[in-house]
Each structure stands twice: as structure tokens, then as C-alpha cells.
Amino acid sequence: MNKISHETMRESSVLRWSALILVALTMFFAYMFVDVLSPLQTLLEQQKGWTPEVYGTFASSEYFLNVFVFFLFFAGIILDKMGIRFTGLLSCIIMLIGAGIKLYAISDWFGADNALYDLLNSFAVSFPPAAKLASVGFAIFGCGIEMAGITVSKTIVKWFTGKEMALAMGLEMAIARLGVAVVFWISPYFANLGTPDVVRPVAVCCLLLCIGFLTFFVYTLMDKKLDSQDSTLSKELDEEPEEGFKMSDLGKLLTNKVYIITALLCVLYYAAIFPFQKFATSMLENRLGLSTTDASQLFSWFPIGAMILTPLLGWFLDKKGKGATMLIFGSILVFVCHMTFAIYPFVEGDSNSLLVAYSAIIVLGVSFSLVPAALWPSIPHLVDKTYLGSAYSIVFLIQNFGLWLFPIIIGVVLDKSNPAEVLIANNGVYNYTPAMLVFASCGIFACILGLWLKAEDKKHGYGLEEPNVKS
């Protein structure tokens, strides 16, 4: 009798974790690109005339096509139908195209003697042509990075189900956070290398994106081998082939109450994080009177804190569970941080003020570990794996709507709460209190949804409070 081997590459921890590192590196470089301009808002205003409103609209353009052309919706279907290798490579190519356009838009090559420049300058003149074209590039890049995000999530589920799934997701996010921390350091550094210039750091990050493409390409070789091992194994075990994705599965998703609660929690929570990240450097400059470099370095402790804690909390979730409880605590902490920046009477140059600011940023880092570490591994508990790609894509789609809307809201709130005459009277220092109150309110609503989710889990037993590793 032939002996059937149940071993696939997934059973080798070295190969499993190598696969994770390869896809995580793609996300590392992608996240660097996302925030390359975040620490340079002040320089953008001085050099390119991008007001907070222009900057806010540019920042939110990352999500525009995902939300309004439903790109993410199609990305989920493409992922479920075409698989990880095709979707992952496609997403990298889309990111590179978008990044190239953004680089061109802010460079000196795109200037007044250019027909496209003149065309973009012929309408909505308060929005500079460079910002318009950069927004188009960023919107295309946004399609790529979100498509890559759902592909990577599905990849992790593929390799780690029944194993250290939350730890793996936590580690992947930790590597992405490291990208954000690194870019908050190197972006002002490259910008100020010689004559201050916003183009240099963007060019560097474009090059790094190419490395991300290569690491994903290497991963596809492993993925192909794993698929062939899986199909040989199912033939040997005489298993029925898995049912593929059907359009009717989307209906199942959208009528799944607990899945929708999770998606709403996700949009509210992340609205208080990523849009805040776009304004954080400027907020710290204005609230504490710090230089761009100091504000940016202070803020970089947020992704660093999240980077250290997310895998640890992922490990905790694998071993002990308590996912829904983690979502509730994380939401409370985001509220605490934003309220601190909204109402604490910060004084320029005061060491207590600096201590409070550092503490609030660390609290935010802890929050940003608790929620992502628990949220993403909870999705496979709520839906069938045949439409997991679509399940991730629809959560991302709803979340992207919030990520698109909030930078615009905050830009408008900042402009309205700082009319020109008040700004002049305040020596150009922006009042950030109303904007921070908007962010804080998201934390409260997310917390309420977390409590609801926990109650539903208790009633129906989805296993959100259960450990992932089955011993």
C-alpha cells in the first residue's frame, strides 16, 4: 500500500515564515510610499502652496478609486477567482504606475510649459495642478496597495490556518509599521539633504517599491509549489475539489450581521488612525511648537510601539483568544489619546507637555496593536474561506470610504476653525482642538460596536474570544 505524505511546505516552519517575510516586505515598502509626504506637509505648503485643505484632499485621494469606482470590490472577486499570484503581481504593477505618476507630478518636469499642466490649471484653480496629478497617481497607487493588502491577508490564511495565524498577521503588520516609522525618519532626512526638496524622498521610495515587487515575485514561486503539493495531496486523499467563489456569496456576506458590525468597527477605528497619521506631524508642530523633524520623530514612536506590540498581541490571541475584548480596549485607548491632544494645555518647550505628548503617542501605539492584532484574524471566523478574498475586500472597501472621507473632513475642520485673521493673530499656529475631537469621537463609536460584537459572539459562539491555535 502506498504511504500518503500529509507534509506540504506549509508544515515547514522555515518555509512558512519565509513566505510571510517575502510578502511582508512588499507591504513594508508600500507603506513607506504611502506616508512619504506625511512628515513634509509644512514644506509642501511653503514650496508648493498646498494648504491643509489641498493636502487633506490629496491624502484622501489614495482611497478614491477603491471607493467610488468600487475597485476594491472587483479586487476581491479577482483575488477569489484568479488567485494569489496573479492578484499580488498585478497589485505591485498598479502601485508602481501610481507611484511613478505621483513622482512626476511633484517634480520640476511637470511645470507651466506642459499641456497637461495647463489643462489641470484650467479648473478648480485653488487646487494646484501638481496636487491634482499627484492625487491621480496616489489614487492609482491606492488601488494597488489595497489589492496587495487583501492578497497578503489571504496568503497568510493560506499558510497559517490552524497554526500561528494571528502572530503571522501581527508580524506582517509590524513590518508594515516599521516601514511607516522608517519613512517618518528618512523622509525629512532626504528632503533636507541639500536644498529642501519634497521630490527626493518620493524618488527614493519609488525605487524601494521595485524591491517590493521583486520580493512578491519570489513569493509566487513558493505559492505555485504549495498549490501543486495541495492538489497532489487532495488527489491522494480522494478529496472533493473545493467549491469556487460564486457571485451569490456576496449576498451572504452583506447579510451577515456580525461581519457588518466588524466592518463598521473597522471603518470607525481606522478613521481615527490613518487620517490622523497624515496630520500628526503638523498637529505636534502646532500644539507643542516643535520643528518638523522633532515632531516627525516624536510621532514615529507610534508605529514603533505598534510594531513591537502587534506580534506579541497576535501571539496572545493565538494562545489565549479574547479578540473581541481586545477590540474594545483598543477603541478606548484611541479615544484617550485623541482627547489628550484635543484638550491638554500644552506649553511650548515645557518638559511635562512633552512627556504627556509622548505618553499619548505610546497609548495610541498600544491601541493600534490591540485592534489590528484582533480584527484581521477574526474575519476567517465569520465567513467561509471560499469567499475570504471578497470578505477582506468589502471590509477594506467600507474602511477605505472612511479613510477617504476623514482627511477631507479634518482639512475642512482645520480651515474653518482657523480663519485667516485668527491664524495671523496666532502667529500662524493652527488650533487643532476641533479636529482632534472629531478623531476622538470615532474611538467612542468603535468601542460601542466592539461591545455589540462581543455580545453577538457570546450569543452565537463565533469563536472570537477563542484561541486560534488548535492543540
Ligand X SMILES: NCCCC[C@H](NC(=O)[C@@H](N)CCCCN)C(=O)O
Please identify which residue in 57, 153, 378, 468 interacts with ligand X, judged by CB under 6 A: 153
Question: Applying CB under 6 A, does 389 fall inside the site for ligand X?
Answer: no
Nearer to ligand X, 219 or 396 (CB): 396
Rounded to a whole number of angstroms, the minimum distance from the CB of residue 316 to ligand X is 17
**Dist CA 11 CA 162 (whole Å):** 11
Nearer to ligand X, 330 or 372 (CB): 372
Return the closest-CA partner of residue 430 out of 408, 411, 443. Answer: 411
Question: Applying CB under 6 A, does 152 fall inside the site for ligand X?
Answer: yes
**Dist CA 178 CA 243 (whole Å):** 38
Which residues ranging from 208 to 247 are in contact with ligand X (CB under 6 A)? none
Spatial CB neighbours of 259, under 8 Å, sequence gap ≥ 6:
253, 379, 382, 383, 391, 395
Please identify which residue in 53, 80, 164, 172 interacts with ligand X, judged by CB under 6 A: 172
Q: Is 395 exposed, middle or buried (0-12, 13-18, 19+ CB in 10 A)?
A: buried
Question: Applying CB under 6 A, does 173 fall inside the site for ligand X?
Answer: yes
Rounded to a whole number of angstroms, the minimum distance from the CB of residue 67 to ligand X is 11
Under 8 Å between Cβ of 128 and 49: yes
Note the helical H segments in 107-198. Answer: 115-120, 129-160, 165-191
Q: How far is CA 319 from the centre of its chain?
A: 26
26 residue type, one letter = T
Rounded to a whole number of angstroms, the minimum distance from the CB of residue 180 to ligand X is 9
Question: Applying CB under 6 A, does 176 fall inside the site for ligand X?
Answer: yes
Return the closest-CA partner of residue 299 out of 376, 368, 350, 347. Answer: 368
Rounded to a whole number of angstroms, the minimum distance from the CB of residue 79 to ligand X is 13
Give the DSSP per-residue string, 225-238: HHHHHHHHHHHHTT
Nearer to ligand X, 106 or 143 (CB): 143
In the block, cell 484582533 appears at: 374
Q: Is 417 exposed, middle or buried (0-12, 13-18, 19+ CB in 10 A)?
A: middle
Question: Applying CB under 6 A, does 372 fall inside the site for ligand X?
Answer: yes
Question: Applying CB under 6 A, does 276 fall inside the site for ligand X?
Answer: no
Give 150's Cβ-side CA count (13 Å radius). 34
Question: Applying CB under 6 A, does 171 fall inside the site for ligand X?
Answer: no
- How many chain residues touch ligand X (CB under 6 A)? 16
Under 8 Å between Cβ of 155 and 3: no
| Site string (52-71) toward ligand X, x via CB under 6 A | ----------x---------
Nearer to ligand X, 173 or 334 (CB): 173
Question: Applying CB under 6 A, does 274 fall inside the site for ligand X?
Answer: yes
Nearer to ligand X, 78 or 290 (CB): 78
Nearer to ligand X, 52 or 142 (CB): 142
Please identify which residue in 22, 32, 94, 169 interacts with ligand X, judged by CB under 6 A: 169
Rounded to a whole number of angstroms, the minimum distance from the CB of residue 19 to ligand X is 13
**Dist CA 338 CA 402 (whole Å):** 17
Return the closest-CA partner of residue 71 out of 405, 403, 397, 407. Answer: 397
Rounded to a whole number of angstroms, the minimum distance from the CB of residue 372 to ligand X is 4
Rounded to a whole number of angstroms, the minimum distance from the CB of residue 40 to ligand X is 16
Question: Applying CB under 6 A, does 396 fall inside the site for ligand X?
Answer: yes
Nearer to ligand X, 153 or 468 (CB): 153
Question: Applying CB under 6 A, does 34 fall inside the site for ligand X?
Answer: yes
Spatial CB neighbours of 321, under 8 Å, sequence gap ≥ 6:
463, 464, 465, 466, 467, 468
Q: Which stretches of 205-347 are assigned E, i.e. beta strand?
A: none
Which residues ranging from 129 to 148 are in contact with ligand X (CB under 6 A)? 146
Rounded to a whole number of angstroms, the minimum distance from the CB of residue 349 to ligand X is 33
Contacts to ligand X by CB under 6 A: 34, 62, 146, 149, 152-153, 169, 172-173, 176, 270, 274, 372, 376, 396, 399
